[in-house]
Amino acid sequence: MASPHIVGIAALLKSAHRDWSSAAIRSAMMTTADVTDNADGTIVDMTFGISGCPLDYGAGHVNPNKVLDLGLVYDLEAEDYVNFMCEINYTSGQIKVITRRSNYTYSQANLDLNYPSFILLFNGTNTTSFTFKRVLTNVGTAESVYRAVLWHPKAMKVVVEPMTFSFGGKNSKAKFTMTVENDLSDYKEGYYDISLVMEDIAKFKLLFSVFLLSYIAISSSFAEEYKIYIIHMDKSMMPAHFETNHDWYTSTLSTLSSPEGIEPTHLYTYNHVLDGFSAVLSKSQLDELERMPGHFVTYQESYGKAHTTRSPQFLGLKKHSGLWKAGGFGDDMIIGILDVGIWPESESFKDHGMPPVPERWRGHCETGVDFNTSHCNRKLIGARSFSKGMRKRHLNISTTDDYDSPRDYDGHGTHTSSTAAGSPVSGANYFGYAKGTASGVAPLARLAMYKVLFLNDTYESAASDVLAGMDQAIEDGVDLMSLSLGFDDTPFYENPIAIGAFTAMEKGIFVSTSAGNGGPHSYTINNGAPWITTVGAGTIDREYAAQVTLGEHEAMFTGKSIYPEDLLISGVPIYYGKGNASKEYCDYLSLEPEDVLNKIVFCNFNNETDILSQLEEIQRVRAAGGILVTDSPLFLRPIDFNTPYVGISSTDGYLVRKYVKNAGDSAKVNIKFLITVLDNKPAPQVAYFSSRGPNHWAPWVLKPDILAPGVDILAAWAPNRGFAPIGYGDDLLLTDYAIVSGTSMASPHVVGIAALLKSAHRDWSSAAIRSAMMTTADVTDNADGTIIEMTFGISGSPLDYGAGHINPNKALDPGLVYDLEAEDYINFMCGMNYTKEQIKVITRRSNHTCSQANLDLNYPSFIVLFNNTNTTSFIFKRVLTNVDDSESIYRAVIWHPKSMKVVVEPMTLSFGGKNSKAEFTMTVENDLSDYKDSYYYIEDYGYLSWYEVNGKHVVRSPIVSAFAYGSGKPS
């Protein structure tokens, strides 16, 4: 990737200076290169996290603008390289292979090339010296005088003769010598460098820098590698004279030795999510720290990635009834969003009519690039950013495409925030599509942004930054958190979101996370800890379309299109390559530009065609547009519609073929874009990208928990960030509201609904809120069929959609809940064979025992894991809590496949009143004799539903049979 950048710059230089040799071009780039980064520090070696040297980066980082007018060059001719090869003892045959020459002699053999850099090799003697000879050529047009300026370490003596150079005009030359002498008595091994700088005396400007590097050839080891670590400490060991944990941590770091002169760097002190801090340490410093009293355990830094006008209506939210009314539209709830930042000027974050900020709020808005405290209001009440871990990985924040502040660089954080709690905005739309009033799920809730993702080479977030963001959110006083990001699937004691979410759960903070975009494969779930609500993505009942009219209204139909222009195609000829199969299917390189000029290309469909490849072919020949037959319109995204085309069904494709056959060369078409179709069926469907269960590390809990809208969701966007591609070039249209898909879009829907539930039921725990959402979820779509898995077009299972698609109004009044406390999760971790140390990392507790170890959590779903035996059974134990005000009786109703036997005892439960409890057991036995060994899950599942006798409540839970990943045993 680097080489083509250089050749491009060289092309610019060669065009500007046609008389320059290749050596002159290289010299120009080298002697004007930057040796500092954009933070004015020395260029860092990212492997070790320390300052690099010329053996890493050569003369420095190329600077195209400086290179244009540099003053002097070190030039070379072919003969100079031949003399160099002679000196390195190449034979005449070897030299001829390279040069094709035989008419040369060894009389001018010389290792000292007229090169724009210097290197002096030692052989382990105490002192050594070398005299370099160089010739500089003036490539400027004027006469000039230059003076040498040296920088070098104390152990090196450097003499340049002469120190001043005079040039008569363009192409004039001047010679100098440089003698370098080194005293190696204090050096065992290593390297060091000097700078030789030439200054134009008349212009007083730096024209070029040359780096001289001295390297000890016998060196066999390298500087220590510095890495970021998250250090857990035992608070009970803190000496009494320290007032705070922070003082103890920083004092501990200050006592560590620094043999290379690089002291430990403290990043964050964590006060809630864990007892400890993060820091940049060498391996020897870490070893020293781990031997100190109070050190508990250390984990190395890890990195994670980021995974509406209609969705509130699709969810059934109404102004004057149901959860919106009962939950006060989320009033007084504070939602913390951990994402890529926020665009505070968006209409979705206006605070018109909102009451004062709750007095319990302890957060604030920080000041940074293009962001200050005035950007916050009664809607956006807090905004902070966390980038220390990312920076220490030497991934600097882009100054052109990102902001060193809570401001959104991408649009993702603005989208998720406005989805969860955006204020109502009338007339919101995406270039005319989805026009209406955009509202967050909890429109009166408050928002606080914690920016933990920044634009860099990896698009990753650092665990230390995410933990710091969660820690601060807890300190600030949020009621709920949503994280539309995830880390590689690791044990919970290594996962920053799992660690931070446990403390949040203990403090009554509901945490919603995206399930990940790794579908449709099984065992791809992220964020699978049972104290987190894990959300998959589904479609909604809104589609985007264009209307197609053939000829003089011979046929009219609609097809999928999100082309972002109000374009009316009228009476445009249709091209169809009938009789030539490649042209009919728009195969690669099948179409001719002259045949399709100013025409709409019709592309037929078979099982081998790919609509995106067909679209590329249409774009290659610059047709006016296209009509493409497809069986997968749901898979088309807004960014696919940079040209005016429509995806139609095979039925409508037959109409086009029939019309073209009859009309011949006179076939014409009209197309009208910007059509929004509502009440589309079936919906929801499970998105193809939505990650599937079970969770690899804890398959004894069914994940995902629930499905929520996550496909083609309209919400606020960063208006300065190009979003919609248009035309055949690289142009992008700007928009205030964008249509985006991902489980990232699903999580904020759930956190918004949780805010409404928490507002309506202040005494409910996070587990109770999740239970209410799960046991009232819909398992059928709006066509009264089972929810479909869109990848294969077949019925999905709870491993795709969890308990079902969230239904906010039903969740308001669930009747019964499966509740959980922190101690239950600890017993679960004991059942997973987590060590006492690993449990303490997550819980910060040491006063627990594993006498109640249990993999059977009081969860609102059931999953049975098989190990490839012919039959297996499991007994689940559950406790239900009545959250209704009245006494009630519930009766169990079981639906299950023939291969599954389910027995519930007792079949009837009685509840005396609110908060009364009742226990039951459920035995599930499966016959696997008809199943072969499977690495993946099987499709057996059923439901246990508790029906209220003479009442309205139904409490439903899925029962799933799945093969364990590997052995299925806890590790």
Query: Is 798's pLDDT higher than 90?
Result: yes
Position 122 scores a pLDDT of: 66
Nearest to 796, CA basis, from 486, 540, 536: 536
Is pLDDT at 154 greater than 60 in this prediction? yes
Tell me the pLDDT band of 682, cut-offs 50, 70 and 90: very high
Beta strands 480-483 and 510-514, pairing class: parallel
Question: 496-506 and 822-831 helices cross at what angle (nearest 10)?
Answer: 140
Structure tokens at 695: 């969770």
Question: What pLDDT is stored for residue 769 in this prediction?
Answer: 97
CA–CA–CA angle 87, 90, 93 (5° rounding): 140
Cα–Cα dist 962/968, whole Å:
10
pLDDT tens digit sequence for 436-487? 889 999 999 999 999 998 876 556 778 889 999 999 999 999 999 999 888 8
pLDDT value at position 743? Answer: 92
pLDDT in tens, 492-504: 999 989 999 999 9
Full-prediction pTM beyond 0.95? Answer: no
Do 315 and 441 contact (CB within 8 A), yes or no? yes
Averaged pLDDT of the chain: 86
Which value, in Å, is the radius of gyration of the alpha carbons in the chain? 34
Average pLDDT for residues 379-392, to the nearest whole number? 91
The H or E element spanning position 594 is helix 593-596
Contacts of 104 (CB under 8 A, 6+ apart): 79, 82, 86, 95
Least confident of 192-206, 323-337, 552-566, 662-676: 192-206
Of residues 786, 834, 561, the one with CA closest to residue 686: 786
- What tokens were used for 185? 């008595």
pLDDT value of position 463: 85
Distance CA 360, CA 458 (A): 38
pLDDT of residue 867: 67
Q: How confident is the model at residue 751 (pLDDT cuts 50, 70, 90)?
A: very high
H helix or E strand, kind and range, residue 23: helix 22-31
If you ran DSSP here, which 8-state letter would residue 442 be given?
Answer: S
- Rounded CA-CA distance 726/563 in Å is 8
Residue 373 CB contacts under 8 Å (≥ 6 apart), including other chains: 364, 365, 366, 367
Its sign, for the CA torsion 517, 520, 524, 525, is positive
Largest CA distance in the chain: 110
Give which of 357, 344, 346, 349 is closest to 385, Cα–Cα. Answer: 344
Q: How far apart are CA 283 and CA 262, in angstroms?
A: 12
What integer pLDDT is reported at residue 188 of this predicted model? Answer: 43
Q: How far apart are alpha carbons 682 and 779 in whole angstroms?
A: 13
Helix axes 412-421, 743-760, angle to 10 degrees: 30
Q: What is the mean pLDDT of residues 207-226?
A: 39
Q: What is the rounded average pLDDT of the residues 608-619?
A: 86
Active site residues: 339, 412, 744
The proportion of the chain whose per-residue pLDDT surpasses 90, expressed as a percent, equals 54
- Provide the residue ranges of all domains of the chain, joining segments of one domain with +: 2-43+57-76+114-200, 227-300, 331-517+698-779, 543-677, 857-963
DSSP string for residues in 278-300: EEEEEHHHHHHHHTSTTEEEEEE
Q: What is the pLDDT of residue 191?
A: 42
Query: Distance (Å, rounded) from C-alpha 360 to C-alpha 333?
Result: 11
3-state secondary structure of 807: coil
Q: How many other C-beta atoms are found inside a 10 Å radius of the C-beta of residue 240?
A: 5
Q: What is the DSSP string of 688-729?
A: TTS--S--SS-TTS-S--EEEE-SSEEEE--TTS--EE-SSS
Q: What pLDDT shows up at residue 217?
A: 28
The tens digit of pLDDT for each residue in 285-295 reads 999 999 998 99
Sheet holding 941-948, edge to edge: 862-866, 954-963, 941-948, 888-895, 908-911
The amino acid at 12:
L
CB-side exposure of 222: number of CA atoms within 13 Å?
Answer: 15
- Spatial CB neighbours of 858, under 8 Å, sequence gap ≥ 6: 818, 819, 820, 824, 878, 879
Q: Which two tokens stand for residue 323?
A: 């959860």
**pLDDT, tens only, 167-213:** 888 888 999 999 988 766 554 444 444 444 444 443 333 333 333 33
Q: Would you say residue 570 has pLDDT above 50? A: yes
CATH dotted code for 331-517+698-779: 3.40.50.200
Q: What's the Cα-to-Cα distance from 66 to each of 28, 61, 63, 71, 740, rounded to whole Å?
A: 9, 11, 6, 10, 42
Written as six digits, the tokens of 800 are 């795709």
DSSP reduced 3-state for 55: helix
Q: What is the pLDDT of residues 838-893, one digit of tens each?
A: 999 999 988 888 999 999 999 999 998 876 555 578 899 999 999 999 999 999 99
CA terminus-to-terminus distance, the chain: 42
pLDDT at position 865 is: 83
Return the higher-pLDDT residue of 121 and 353: 353
Cα(712)–Cα(726) distance, integer angstroms: 19
786 DSSP 8-state letter: B
Round to whole Å and give the CA distance between 825 and 504: 13
Cβ atoms of 170 and 141 within 8 Å: the answer is: yes
Task: Give the Cα separation of 333 and 353 in Å (integer).
Answer: 16
Instruction: Name the pLDDT band for 25 (thresholds 50, 70, 90).
Output: very high
- What's residue 185's pLDDT? 57
Residues whose CB is less than 8 angstroms from the CB of residue 61 and which lie 6 or more positions away in sequence, other chains included: 33, 34, 35, 43
pLDDT tens-digit series, residues 921-963:
999 988 766 655 444 445 589 999 999 999 999 999 999 987 7
Q: Which of 94-103, 303-312, 638-647 has the lowest mean pLDDT?
A: 303-312
Tokens of 776: 């009232």
Residue 125 has pLDDT above 80, yes or no: no
Q: Which residues contact 240 (CB under 8 A, 6 or more apart)?
A: none
Q: Does domain 227-300 have CATH number 1.10.8?
A: no
Alpha helices (H) along 109-227: none
pLDDT recorded at residue 45: 81
DSSP lists the bridge partners of residue 226 as 282
Domain 857-963 is found in CATH 2.130.10.10: no
Q: Are 125 and 148 in contact (CB under 8 A)?
A: no
- Encode pLDDT of 802-842 as tens digits: 999 999 999 999 999 999 999 999 999 999 999 999 999 99
The CATH number corresponding to 543-677 among 3.30.1490.100, 3.40.640.10, 3.50.30.30, 3.40.50.2000 equals: 3.50.30.30
Ramachandran class of 829: left when φ > 0, alpha when ψ lies in -120 to 50, beta otherwise: alpha
Stretch 752-780: mean pLDDT, rounded?
A: 96
pLDDT at 775 over 50: yes
CATH number of 2-43+57-76+114-200: 2.60.40.2310
Judge if 2-43+57-76+114-200 and 331-517+698-779 fold alike in CATH terms: no
> For the CA atoms of 546, 547, 550, 554, what is the dihedral angle to 10 degrees?
160
Q: What is the mean pLDDT of residues 399-416?
A: 90
- Paired with 228 in beta bridges are 280
pLDDT digits (tens, 9 = 90+) for 344-359: 999 999 999 899 999 9
Statement: residue 693 has pLDDT above 90: no
Structural contact between residues 515 and 537, judged by C-beta atoms closer than 8 angstroms:
yes
pLDDT band of 776, cuts 50, 70, 90: very high
Tell which wins on pLDDT, 208 or 387: 387
C-alpha distances (whole Å) from 315 to each of 440, 708, 750 are 12, 9, 11
